[in-house]
Amino acid sequence: MNQLQEFAKRTREALPGHGNIPAFRPGDTLRVQVKIKEGNKERLQAFEGLCIGRKNRCIHSSFRMRKILAGEGVERVFPLYSPLITIERLREGVVRRAKLYYLRDRQGKRARIKEKKYFSEKNARKASSASVSDAAKTPVPAKASADKAASSIKASQGATVKDTTQKTSSS
């Protein structure tokens, strides 16, 4: 690592709230709370929307958020390592692009992003137990009744059928 990268790493680690940044990618739905100072008062302003891009520039890293407010698209750029913001990931989206700027041209359902679904071990056990109980409830036809059904189908088609259900005794 060169000296500039080492300096950036030390500075980033020294920033307050450095460890509080969740892992997120473009396509994720985030809630960013920004501290706003108005006179003597401080308040938190929440911006909830879709992350449509991220720029990784060491300490100067930023990400771009987009949401629809009163029918108009609103975009805002946030510095990633700012001590004035807190980031919370609400949903994880499935996208195949790093920059989702094409969403600016889309409206309504076309601007939606698929949500990533995880198949947990708990759900796997529920699914397997449900399939076992469903299999136990469905009656399994006996071989004789299956052969009868097959012979009746073939007989209706005019073919000669050998009955395999009766055993012939040959001694």
pLDDT digits 0-9 by tens, 67-102: 999 989 999 999 998 889 999 999 999 999 999 999
The torsion angles phi and psi of 36, rounded to 5 degrees, stand at: -120, 130
Q: What is the pLDDT of residue 79?
A: 94
Cα dist from 120 to 27, 55, 116, 117, 126, whole Å: 22, 32, 13, 9, 10
- Tell the CATH topology of 22-120: SH3 type barrels. (2.30.30)
Per-residue pLDDT of 20-59, as tens digits, reads 788 999 999 999 999 999 999 999 999 999 999 999 988 8
Structural domain boundaries of the chain?
22-120
With bands split at pLDDT 50, 70 and 90, how would you rate the model's confidence at 117?
A: confident
Look at residue 171 and tell me whether its pLDDT is greater than 50.
no
Cβ–Cβ under 8 Å, residues 161 and 154? yes
